[in-house]
Amino acid sequence: MNPEKPSTIVKQIPPIWLKILVIFLIGLGIFFRFAHLGQKAIWYDEAFTSLAISGHTVSEVRHEVFNERIIPVAALDKYQHLDPDRGINDTVRYLMTSDPQHPPLYYAMVRLWAQLFGDSPARLRSLSAAIGLLIFQSVYWLCLELFESPIVGWVAIAIVAVSPLEIFFAQEARQYGLWMVTILVCSAALLRSIRRETFLNWAIYALTLAVGLYTHLFTALVAMAHGIYVASQQRFRFNKTLANYLLGTTVGLFIFLPWIFVLITHISTAQQQTSHFSFYKLDNPFNLIAIFMTHITRIFFDINFSSYKPWRNELFWETSHTYYSVMAGIFSLVLIILVYFLSKKRLNRVSLFLILLGAVPSLCLLLPDLIAGGIRSTNVRYQMPLYLSIQIALAYVLGVYIFSEKHWKQKVGQCLMVGFLLAGLVSDVSFFKADTWWLQEGSQSLVATAKYINKFENTLLLSSNDFYNIGHMLTLSHLLNSKINLLTAQRDHLPLLPQEASNIFLNDSTIGKNLIARFKEDKTYSFRLIDEPVTELWKVEKIHKK
């Protein structure tokens, strides 16, 4: 197969000034990836990462801790740190029984990392920061395969070096930084295999596809985009290239087959863990699209401008509809320009690949939301293929304009590049200073809750053994004073509250209304909802009868 040659402009040798600029930005990117790793409070998802590497399961936590007995909050430490009697096999067992929608590769890696370097939140996040450094080589390789252009590769490195998207996921103890790397490497391996059809190249593609699948299930959507691209490039005719692709994909899926069996066996658990994405619905589909488009702005500019309240029965709202409208409009225009620019005939192969890589996974999430309701498409973590495609498309446009023979295009390209890089750096400084971030859903509320409760002495905190509440309690265990006690409450009956507890709180929206109604019937205790910035926290006070 002979792909179209890209513009001779971007095939030039990168000038020294560009290399110096990019190396400087890489240095800043490394700093922001590793700085203040322990500053931000551990949040809900990261608490489950710690639970996974401890080797304990959710059912064990329910049985041993959330069993209607009063326990100190320090008892939860056991489930947030390594257990010397448990190993990687127990981490995999946790994923199989409690979190089967998360494949085991990252969690096995972080378990080994914790054994070597420690299991504090900062040490766990340092693995993601180290993995985040691989984004530079990965995006450069993909740009070489797509454009045959070192210039575009260098510009792409500059963009991802300071992008708030990559910085955030380099400081989160989850698998999404690794997933970004596997998306890029797997895509580059595919293009190389098509360009140079050898057994080794297709074997590498199969292996990278398997690694991607063992990192995140939505790699299957990336593989779908790859398949459509290969078939369209071969004009939907069965030939050697298509046969090699099908064989490579089959091998990759075969390697992933054990976890497919796990997922099928525990499909009800996986559905339960992800049901909240279909539970929340928007009355107006334009609001969904506005949220979707606004999140694209955060690839380049993000200063934690949000008032998400995910633990209330509301959708995750941004601070203002005006912010939605303006930002979504601006970036819709930018996207249209990028699609038009890349759809020109001379770049048909490149534009098709980037459009498919971004659009196929994204539409597979957006269309069900628009048709049946839900907020799957608003989850930034699920939209990595789209965001990476946009970043690479932008790198090409900037490369062409900056090194154009026309002076005005050079100036436009230079101004755009400076603007995007400054926006990223401003975002990085904001992230550097922050204690919580909007993507850490509910973290700001939980930090405020812990600070409020910690002001009191002789405190009892009521909770339930609901899966989501277990995550909240595991998160709070990092923030609460160790002397605070916990008591499990059920929906259908009142817990026996100890007389010696002078300050009793309820922090559980799943059972809160039920318990409040029952206590009101009992006329023994009253409830006072604590106002902002704390959410879903009630103070339980005994009614003194005259």
Give the pLDDT confidence of 185-219 residue by residue, as tens digits.
999 999 999 999 999 999 999 999 999 999 999 99
Lowest model confidence (mean pLDDT) among 182-186, 486-490, 540-544: 540-544
pLDDT above 70 for 477: yes
The model's pLDDT over 356-407, given as tens digits with 9 standing for 90+, comes to 999 999 999 999 988 888 888 889 999 999 999 999 999 998 998 898 888 8
Categorize the per-residue pLDDT at 166 as very low, low, confident or very high, splitting at 50, 70 and 90.
very high
CB neighbours of 420 closer than 8 A, spacing ≥ 6? 159, 300, 394, 398
Centre a 10 Å sphere on the Cβ of residue 243 and count the other Cβ atoms it contains.
11
Question: How many Cβ atoms sit within 10 Å of the Cβ of residue 49?
Answer: 28
The confidence score (pLDDT) of residue 411 equals 92
- pLDDT of residue 326 exceeding 90, the answer is no
In this structure, which amino acid lies at residue 291? I
Q: What average pLDDT score do residues 324-353 get?
A: 67
CA distance 455 to 256: 50
Rounded to the nearest angstrom, the gap between the alpha carbon of residue 151 and the centroid of all alpha carbons in its chain is 29
N- to C-terminal Cα separation, the chain: 90
Where does the pLDDT of residue 5 fall: very low under 50, low under 70, confident under 90, or very high at 90 and above?
very low
Average pLDDT on 132-152 reads 96
Whole-number pLDDT of residue 355: 92
Residue 319 has pLDDT above 70, yes or no: no
Residue 263 has a pLDDT of 96
Tell me 14's DSSP state.
P
* pLDDT band at residue 314 using 50, 70 and 90 as cut-offs: very low
pLDDT of amino acid 316: 41
CA distance 453 to 450: 5
Whether 56 has a pLDDT exceeding 80, the answer reads: yes
Over range 155-173, report the average pLDDT.
Answer: 97
Q: Distance (Å, rounded) from C-alpha 440 to C-alpha 427?
A: 16
**Model confidence at 2: pLDDT above 60:** no
Token pair 């006070």 in the structure block, residue? 541
User: What's the whole-number mean pLDDT along residues 465-470?
Assistant: 82
Of 285, 299, 276, 222, nearest to 253 by C-alpha is 222
Q: Whole-angstrom Cα distance, residue 451 to residue 287?
A: 34
pLDDT average, residue stretch 525-530: 80
Predicted confidence band of residue 167 (pLDDT cuts 50, 70, 90)? very high
Is the confidence at residue 311, as pLDDT, over 60? no
Average pLDDT for 38-55:
94
Question: What H or E segment, with its residue span, contains residue 459?
Answer: strand 459-463
Strands 538-542 and 525-529: antiparallel
Least-confidence region, from 83-97, 341-355, 459-473, 508-522: 508-522
Strand order in the sheet with 71-72: 71-72, 485-488, 459-463, 503-506, 538-542, 525-529
Please determine, for residue 351, whether its predicted confidence score (pLDDT) is greater than 90: no
Cβ-in-10-Å burial (0-12, 13-18, 19+) of 457 comes to: exposed
Residue 279 has pLDDT above 70, yes or no: no
Determine the pLDDT at residue 6: 44
**pLDDT for the residue 3:** 40
DSSP state at residue 505: E
The whole-number average pLDDT for the span 54-77 is 89
pLDDT tens-place string over residues 211-250 = 999 999 999 999 999 999 999 999 889 999 999 999 999 9
Domain ranges of the chain: 16-37+130-433, 44-129, 443-542
What pLDDT does residue 315 have? 39
pLDDT computed for residue 4 by the predictor = 40
Residue 296 above 50 pLDDT?
yes
| pLDDT of residue 142 exceeding 80 | yes
**The two structure tokens encoding residue 138:** 């990965």
Which of 473 and 291 is assigned the larger pLDDT? 473
The bridge status of strand 538-542 relative to strand 503-506 is: antiparallel
Q: Which residues of 108-144 are buried (b: 16+ CB within 10 A; e: fewer)?
A: bbbbebbeeeebbbbbbbbbbbebbbbbbebbbbbbb
What local confidence, expressed as pLDDT, does residue 108 receive?
Answer: 98
CA 443 from centroid of its chain's CA atoms: 15
Rounded CA separation 409/217 (Å): 42
Q: Which is nearest to 209 in space by CA: 257, 147, 145?
A: 257
What does the pLDDT average to over 483-487?
91
Question: In this model, does residue 313 exceed pLDDT 50?
Answer: no
Q: Are 101 and 89 in contact (CB under 8 A)?
A: no
Query: Which among 356, 395, 389, 348 has a CA at the least distance from the CA of 3?
Result: 348
The tokens describing 416, both together, are: 């755009």
What is the per-residue pLDDT for 511?
63
